Amino acid sequence: MRVSGSGFEGHAQGGAATCLLEKEAPTVVSSASTTGSASANWVFDDILEEEHLKRLRAVFDKISAFRYLPHGWDSYGAPPIDHATQIAAKKIIKLLWESLSTSLPEPFAAPCSDGGLLLEWALPTTEVSVTVGPGGIPFEYLITRKGTDDITDEGTTRDLVTLVRRVLIHFV
């Protein structure tokens, strides 16, 4: 299901979830970044040291910051974004990034009202949306022709490799 509003077009999981628009996003400051203690990306720090993945730091930090959203962050009782969901989103980004030799732009990332995460890539002719469900699975994907509502591919899977394979064919 496509949703639009406030200049943002996104994918709503099963029509039940909405995703936070970037311009409506609250400012979230992690305690890790203010105290200089543990990194918000502790699981991916070693991966991000690889030179070709350093550009992912900003989007990984943004995804990590979603953990600090309180219960009801959307004013309608939305749950916080759990760690498993964040890790699954980062794995998707990393796998796609490595598969495409860094020619992939950074995705837009937003929390969804059901506790999931939305990842979107705007390519020259295609828009790719991936929704990571609460707890890290299932994954939903929607591929449309840019500037239209023409759906090229869509589906749901519980397998990360299947998701990446389905999405990759639209990036090349």
Residue with tokens 């009202």: 113
Nearest to 62 by CA among 98, 102, 20, 95: 20
Compute the average pLDDT of residues 96-103. 76
pLDDT in tens, 118-151: 999 998 888 999 999 999 989 999 999 998 989 9
- The pTM for the full model equals 0.72
pLDDT in tens, 82-98: 999 999 999 999 888 88
Compute the average pLDDT of residues 16-20. 49
